[in-house]
Structure 1
């Protein structure tokens, strides 16, 4: 016992010397006053007090691993992943003869794989993903016959894949992608009948298939420069196969008929090859298919009508081929489809009306670059969730259907290079989120409607080569010479000088040109009148209060709604005491206040007027909150614009107090002791996510003028006593109408990003204008943060890794690997997921009901992650809008409740 204690303290001393950064002060807790079995990250055997587990995963540690770790000879598990360890993996790990699990992933460890680890013959789980390990896989490591998981991906390993890995008869997961391996995949790997996941993408192989791996569920062979044809033996792959990636190779020939045998295939990617010939009708047998990607090949012949049998299909990419014939109406049967790309083929005929029945389409419908004829069906207006519609470069004719104005989620509309005629429909004024509109090279005529200049989100407008006439507007997009094109319209005049249009004849001058319509003027006038009245009211009160502040008595909550003085705020917050400080932000601090007369607790936001932009933030927040009503908004009680005791300007907002604080404090508790009590369960997270999506949907789509929050993050989501979420801090909020008419906005956007680092959409960083899709991006990041427990600025996100990629890499089969550990603890406690140790040690699962329940919960988590990824897509036009998010998240919640009830 004494020897064990000495060994542990010896290890501790050397370990602490090797740690150069410890922001969470973990090592300070490893001291003599506490028994080592109680140290953070240490688990001991109860009887022998031997150290069994060293778990310091995700502790933000920087340093190297000491050789003395080999002294802890009874260790069965080491988990140091997601830190910043560097240097080499110690050879002394070979002394740990009982070691079963070693996780050093997502560090910066270099050097070669230590050959001495051949003595760790009990090793079952090895994860060295995302390090800098070099050299080949040593022959000595062939002794790891008990391995079930081997993950060496994303390193700098070279040489060939050893054939002796085929002797690892219990191996379930083999990840070798992202290295520099060469040669062929050894046939011996086909002996591993237990293999479920095999990733060797981004290497330099040639192709042989693993037809004996009857348990294979995930196979990635992408970007290996494979040549030759896809062998017919693909039909003999495991019927359990769910994912097959062959993209980015040099494959040619046709797609074998036997592909239909892979009946459980859900994700098939063959993009960027040289595959040709006809896609066989039997592909329709793959009824569980969710994503089919055949882009950028040389396929020809008709699009199989049997694709309509794939009723689970979510994404279909067949662009960049030579498909011929008409679009099969049967695609309308794919009622779960979110994205459909058939562009750049040789398709002919009309656009089937049945295609417009795909009301689920929320991503992109791209039919451009074909030879389609006829009109654009009026039923296009049923695609209310669609974000991008592209039918450019076809032979479509007739008028642009007015029903397209019902597609209020559109961010991109491309109708160019067709034969459309008539005028621009007035209904397009309802496309408030439209960012790009291209109707060039058609036969359109008439005047250019004024409403186009009022589409606040519009960044690109191409009207060239039509027959428009009359005076060009000058506002909105028409004031941006780099964002608009009107070439080839010889009857246009006026506009900004940079467009070089002829001057309009004086007798044709329209005095109303450029003025706002009454529908716009009246709300703006009312808003201005309200702000002026509010300022006058507070100003008058301030003058009175300066003379009698000492005589003002405390008043009730009801009275506070009519206004409050500086001295009353001082009294309620105990002189703005640090003890009452709730939080602080860019423009000020928030204090807890108590109304003395009735004990009502309030939150008092005091603006730091020395900070540039604080006064504007005060006005903007007043303006935003005065005109909105929603159960998930933080309710404002009153405001104070006065002078403090030193004669300086003072501005403050008073809100209802939220007793459970911010979402940030629950996701990332600062106090280790509070962590267990501050733990959100799955249902709470779902409810909060739905609350936030609901209020954003209200702000974007149900206010008289759309409002963009611009600073959505966990610290601005507050929780009441019932854990209902309320969104607050509208200091950066923008009205879309204001964004389009305030020319100073576009100038400030390029120099000062709107929002908080990690949550700012990428287009804002490139000078893009504020839009509702910016809020959608922030929501997507927030959703991923809620369910992974990672902030978007986590130290692990370096060298191209982001919270988006962190989650995306885990889908579809490894979602549980990125779920917030505190959430997993709760799910394990109520039997909603299986403990990973049952998988690793091959112990029997407890019962079938629990397995089914765990599977359903995993499906719910997968669906949530998918929504998060869709919302924070890099391209704004591919983001899922909040009205659709509310529906999908509510469906997930209903599904989870059924699981719990079942």
Structure 2
């Protein structure tokens, strides 16, 4: 049958449409199968990030996946950063031909980067940093639209490619094992703004072609094996802001025009090279410079007196060079630095500065925190002007020729945490004003000519950790007060003229690790209380006049590594208990009056080089390696004599020993109970040690100005840890409040092994004593800058917070985050954890508004393997109602056990509260009316009447964009509130699980994003 012309045209049109549909379908399936193949390569998914990746939902709704708005839907973004994923990156990702963003950073991917990624022609952003990827960087030249490429912090090898996409703006390859040189072809990428290959094994120099990168703003090539002269191409990069070529083998002089050629520099780091010559005065032409680091080179001459023109300078580190200053003219640069009102760090340590330090050093910035001038040839008096630097934290002048008395004004610098004045010729007394330095953590006065007594008032330094006054001419006894400092870690008083006994109060120094009091005139018996210093690692008491026996209790100091008791008047036998010290590496008992058989276990066994016992004529036996004579065998006596000994010695001794054992057992039980009460639970992983003094310094003495929250069991402070400047939140427990002790233990147990991006990250814990000797417990968390959700919703005290509006999509994302956290605790952790106190004030927000669930002080753990939801609450406390009024599940009032269903109920209340913006304890909720009942009454037709008016205003404002937006917004609200109702069912058995909640909320949010 013939077709008419119109029929033929219709047939062709139909065929084309069918072909388009088929191609569209193929594209969809290709993307889905590629994602599923990627999932197959994942061997560990601790946060269950890929749980939603299955056939029950469209792949565009899967976690981390974003698709194009236009039909057919194709994957345009895959973002799975910080999910803890372990496995290889599947080559099938190369089939996602519409992919624009691929972010797999901060996971544990291993193996090689698939070559197929080089076929993604639409790719714009590729983040693979902070994994354990190996092999070479694949060719990516065909990714013609790529603008951001980050592969740092992996284990990549090979050379940097010659051929990168021409549109690149950022190329970050730091912290790998790359070799070769910086490719000359880099100069062809005219759009490049940031390039970093620091901490690799790159050789050569920076190629001349880099001079073409006129838009380059960041260049980091530090910590490599690069060499040659200062890279001249850099001088052509007038827009450069950050330059670091530190820790290489560059040499020669710095071009005198460097500051003129690079006028926009803010950071200039060239330390750890072989540069020589003078510090270029042209640096002052880079008027925005705030960070100069030229350490560990061979610079000579004087510091330019014009340096003070850099008014924004915050960091000036010139230490370990050969800079000179010997007269007033040479020191003029100090006068000019008075103009740098933001200066915080200033170091000239390890140079050839000589003579008197000008008093104008006291005119430096009031913001100055670090002043280091050690290792020079400075002499005379300490400049009194330094007393003006009220914010000094660290004052370091060791290894100079100062000859004056230590000035009393040092005790007025109340912010000092570190004073280092060792290796000089200071004389006279230790100033009594030092006792005013309440923040002081380290005091080094060793290798001077100080005399007089150790001031007992040093015991007032309740944050002191290290006290070193060795190699002086001090006399008198060691004041017992210094042993009462709760934070003291190191005491070094060796090589003085101290006398008297070592006070028994030394047992109070619970944190002490190093005790060095050798070469003095100390006498009497060694205090057995030393065994109470359970952290001791190094005991140096040699060359004194100690007498009596070695306390058997020394064998209880399990952390002990070095014990030196040589050249004393000790007698008796060597306690066998010393052989129990597994950590002991060096034992020196030489030149005493010890006798008897030498133990054979532990350090004594086959370790003759680590045990020194010469000069003790009465010792015998022991391991063969010690070459001691055999111990004599006791001759037998008559039966009558044996009976006499039995009656007169053995029986009374047995009776005494039995009494001792009974008393010891009772005492041990008391100590064990006490230890149980105050010990820090094991976290299952290594946490940095932190003391009460660290936390006190971080919070300015737990000042009320740093108080950011209070709860039933303690207070939360904002703090700054000084070792890295990190902002933290410090939860201090009020241990006089009943239940606080259990709350601390519960929170430790809950957090010691959990890992999830939506749980507050614990950094460390502190279980110590405060300066008054009271038990002290605190937890240190990552600081959340946005505060808690309750304040963000309701606060009117903070103008900024009260004006902050949380959009609909943001509220959705917050509740998705919270649901993910609870789902992890309930279903994906090693044993169920029930939070028991979920509420908005326990939901904290970071800078990116990502929610983190915190406060696990009431958490409970599942032990009953036969029940999927009930938790054995007897493991921690009684079955009393746990939680906060308004959020507590109704079954708790009837005495039900703790369960995950109760957490679901609390989550449902929070969910309703976030979208209705009414607290469940609002005055309107009484006489049986609850937030759940209010929602149920108005659901589904009248939800807009109870929703947060701010959300309704958002919907109204968006009506001009699309007429359907308000309807879709209303539908979103209905869907969300319906989940809240499913969570707040009266019967626990009717509530949905957190897995279902998380999946549903993900779907709602993704649908909302696709529609808008």
Across the aligned residues of Structure 1 and Structure 2, the Cα RMSD in angstroms comes to 4.5
Which residue is equivalent to 1:828? none
Matched, 1:371 2:395: no
Which residue is equivalent to 2:142? 119
Q: CA deviation at 1:654?
A: 3.9
CA contact (8 A) 2:788 2:845 kept: no
Of 21, 26, 38, the residue aligned with 1:3 is 26
| Larger Rg over CA atoms | 2
Counterparts of residues 23-62 of structure 1 (less than 5 Å): 23-48=46-71, 49-62=73-86
Which residue is equivalent to 1:316? 346
- SS at structure 2 position matched to 1:135: coil
Compared with structure 1, are the counterparts of its residues 299 and 636 closer, same or farther at alpha carbon in structure 2 (3 Å cutoff)? closer
Q: CA deviation at 1:398?
A: 2.9
Which residue is equivalent to 2:439? 409
State the structure with bigger RCO (CA 8 A, min sep 6), 1 or 2.
1
CA contact (8 A) 2:300 2:324 kept: yes
- SS at structure 2 position matched to 1:356: helix
Compared with structure 1, are the counterparts of its residues 706 and 53 closer, same or farther at alpha carbon in structure 2 (3 Å cutoff)? same
Counterparts of residues 753-768 of structure 1 (less than 5 Å): none
Q: Any gaps of 5 or more consecutive residues in structure 1?
A: 506-609, 638-651, 725-781, 792-902
CA contact (8 A) 1:289 1:310 kept: yes
Counterparts of residues 514-525 of structure 1 (less than 5 Å): none
Of 349, 352, 355, the residue aligned with 2:383 is 352
CA contact (8 A) 1:478 1:495 kept: no
Matched, 1:325 2:355: yes
Which residue is equivalent to 2:207? 186
Q: CA deviation at 1:789?
A: 9.1
Q: Within 1, Cα distance between the matches of 2:779 and 2:256?
A: 54
Q: Within 2, Cα distance between the matches of 1:321 and 1:360?
A: 25
Which residue is equivalent to 1:838? none
Compared with structure 1, are the counterparts of its residues 667 and 192 closer, same or farther at alpha carbon in structure 2 (3 Å cutoff)? farther
Q: Deviations over 1:290-337 (max 9, x none)?
A: 122212222222553223332211112211111112223333232112
Of 459, 465, 481, the residue aligned with 1:451 is 481
Compared with structure 1, are the counterparts of its residues 664 and 231 closer, same or farther at alpha carbon in structure 2 (3 Å cutoff)? farther
Which residue is equivalent to 1:336? 367
Q: Within 1, Cα distance between the matches of 2:752 and 2:475?
A: 56
- SS at structure 2 position matched to 1:232: coil
Q: CA deviation at 1:88?
A: 2.3
Q: Any gaps of 5 or more consecutive residues in structure 2?
A: 1-23, 528-540, 549-668, 681-691, 693-701, 715-736, 794-843, 854-1012
Q: Within 2, Cα distance between the matches of 1:721 and 1:101?
A: 36
- SS at structure 1 position matched to 2:202: strand
Compared with structure 1, are the counterparts of its residues 33 and 484 closer, same or farther at alpha carbon in structure 2 (3 Å cutoff)? closer
Compared with structure 1, are the counterparts of its residues 500 and 400 closer, same or farther at alpha carbon in structure 2 (3 Å cutoff)? closer
Q: Within 2, Cα distance between the matches of 1:108 and 1:184?
A: 28
CA contact (8 A) 2:499 2:523 kept: yes
Of 178, 182, 189, the residue aligned with 1:161 is 182
Which residue is equivalent to 1:463? 493
Compared with structure 1, are the counterparts of its residues 482 and 112 closer, same or farther at alpha carbon in structure 2 (3 Å cutoff)? closer
Matched, 1:198 2:219: yes
Q: Deviations over 1:517-565 (max 9, x none)?
A: xxxxxxxxxxxxxxxxxxxxxxxxxxxxxxxxxxxxxxxxxxxxxxxxx
Q: Within 2, Cα distance between the matches of 1:321 and 1:620?
A: 48
Which residue is equivalent to 2:427? 397
Q: Deviations over 1:775-829 (max 9, x none)?
A: xxxxxxx9999999999xxxxxxxxxxxxxxxxxxxxxxxxxxxxxxxxxxxxxx
CA contact (8 A) 2:486 2:770 kept: no
Q: CA deviation at 1:670?
A: 9.0
Which residue is equivalent to 1:386? 416
Q: Under a length normalisation based on structure 1, what TM-score does the superposition of the two structures give? A: 0.58
Q: Within 2, Cα distance between the matches of 1:193 and 1:789?
A: 41
Which residue is equivalent to 2:237? 213
Of 270, 273, 276, the residue aligned with 2:300 is 276
Q: Within 1, Cα distance between the matches of 2:294 and 2:411?
A: 33
Q: CA deviation at 1:722?
A: 6.5
Q: Under a length normalisation based on structure 2, what TM-score does the superposition of the two structures give? A: 0.52
Q: CA deviation at 1:86?
A: 2.2
Which residue is equivalent to 2:833? none
| Number of equivalent positions | 586
Q: Deviations over 1:662-690 (max 9, x none)?
A: 89999999999xx6xx9x9xxxx9xx99x
Compared with structure 1, are the counterparts of its residues 664 and 99 closer, same or farther at alpha carbon in structure 2 (3 Å cutoff)? farther
Matched, 1:18 2:41: yes
Q: CA deviation at 1:186?
A: 1.0
Q: Deviations over 1:9-63 (max 9, x none)?
A: 2202321221222222233311222112111111111122222111111222222
CA contact (8 A) 2:466 2:489 kept: yes
- SS at structure 1 position matched to 2:282: helix
Which residue is equivalent to 2:192? 171
Compared with structure 1, are the counterparts of its residues 261 and 439 closer, same or farther at alpha carbon in structure 2 (3 Å cutoff)? same
CA contact (8 A) 1:668 1:789 kept: no
Q: Within 2, Cα distance between the matches of 1:74 and 1:113?
A: 22
Q: Within 1, Cα distance between the matches of 2:307 and 2:846?
A: 34
Compared with structure 1, are the counterparts of its residues 64 and 349 closer, same or farther at alpha carbon in structure 2 (3 Å cutoff)? same
CA contact (8 A) 1:55 1:78 kept: yes
Of 454, 458, 463, the residue aligned with 1:433 is 463
Counterparts of residues 627-706 of structure 1 (less than 5 Å): 635=712, 654=739, 700=770, 704-705=772-773
Matched, 1:290 2:314: yes
